[in-house]
Chains A and B, each alone.
Chain A
Amino acid sequence: QQPVQSPQAVILREGEDAVINCSSSKALYSVHWYRQKHGEAPVFLMILLKGGEQKGHEKISASFNEKKQQSSLYLTASQLSYSGTYFCGTEGASSGSARQLTFGSGTQLTVLP
């Protein structure tokens, strides 16, 4: 079951904040976040494991609420370089040793000067 991302698109001015949500209908073991620029490969941002740990680096952080089967990505004081499509990839709790990710359809983020 594909996770649901919201919003589908967001437009910001440089310096503004944004939150992207990822919601799954099944129990999760981990949530991965990637950013993809047009025509390029996705680039890894962070992974959150079962346990509700919040992670982050610089001005991008994320949280994972395993009870609600939801994750949120927080972008603070956005920069022009943050523009791109953000995908969450979820791994089910019952996947065992197989690291099979199911990706959401993406959130297109545009940062304007």
Chain B
Amino acid sequence: DGGITQSPKYLFRKEGQNVTLSCEQNLNHDAMYWYRQDPGQGLRLIYYSQIVNDFQKGDIAEGYSVSREKKESFPLTVTSAQKNPTAFYLCASSIAGPYEQYFGPGTRLTVT
């Protein structure tokens, strides 16, 4: 079955530690995205990538980093510089153009 997988579903970290969230898709999509969602809020774009080895900052990129070494994979690192990292993180992918974005199940990150 084609889809997007994110792991783990729940992640707990201590303040000051970097943490990497996984996102893999087997839909052969060129574009991939990372969003952050806080309780009762909409989705805010962190980073997006349209092709391998290229990515752009979204609206809230500070404190985050990404890589796109393979078409299928778009990992997100939450660094210690991110002031308030506790949130629900969603990865999405789409084919090029004005088409729907398919979302993964999300990773709920808690930093204490």
Contact = CB atoms under 8 A, between A and B. Distances in A.
Contacts of B97: 99
Nearest to B94: A99
Nearest to A108: B40
A101 interface: yes
A104 B105 CA distance: 20
B31 interface: yes
A103 B48 contact: no
B100 A98 contact: no
Interface in A38-80: 40-44, 47, 49
A41 B45 CA distance: 15
Contact of A41 (B48, B50, B56, B104): B104
A87 B43 contact: yes
A101 B45 contact: yes
B2 interface: no
B58 interface: yes
B99 A47 contact: yes
A: contact size bracket = 20 to 34
Contacts, number: 60
A25 interface: no
Interface in B40-57: 40-45, 48, 50, 56
Nearest to B98: A30
Interface in A5-50: 29-30, 32, 40-44, 47, 49
Contacts of B102: 44
A87 B40 CA distance: 11
A106 B105 contact: no
A42 B90 contact: yes
Q: Which 10 A-B pairs have the closest CB atoms?
A: A41-B103, A103-B42, A44-B100, A103-B43, A105-B42, A30-B98, A42-B103, A41-B105, A106-B42, A104-B42
27 contacts: A2-B42, A29-B98, A40-B105, A40-B106, A41-B105, A42-B43, A44-B100, A47-B99, A47-B100, A49-B98, A87-B43, A89-B43, A91-B98, A98-B48, A98-B50, A98-B56, A99-B98, A99-B99, A100-B48, A100-B58, A102-B45, A103-B42, A103-B44, A104-B42, A105-B42, A106-B41, A106-B42
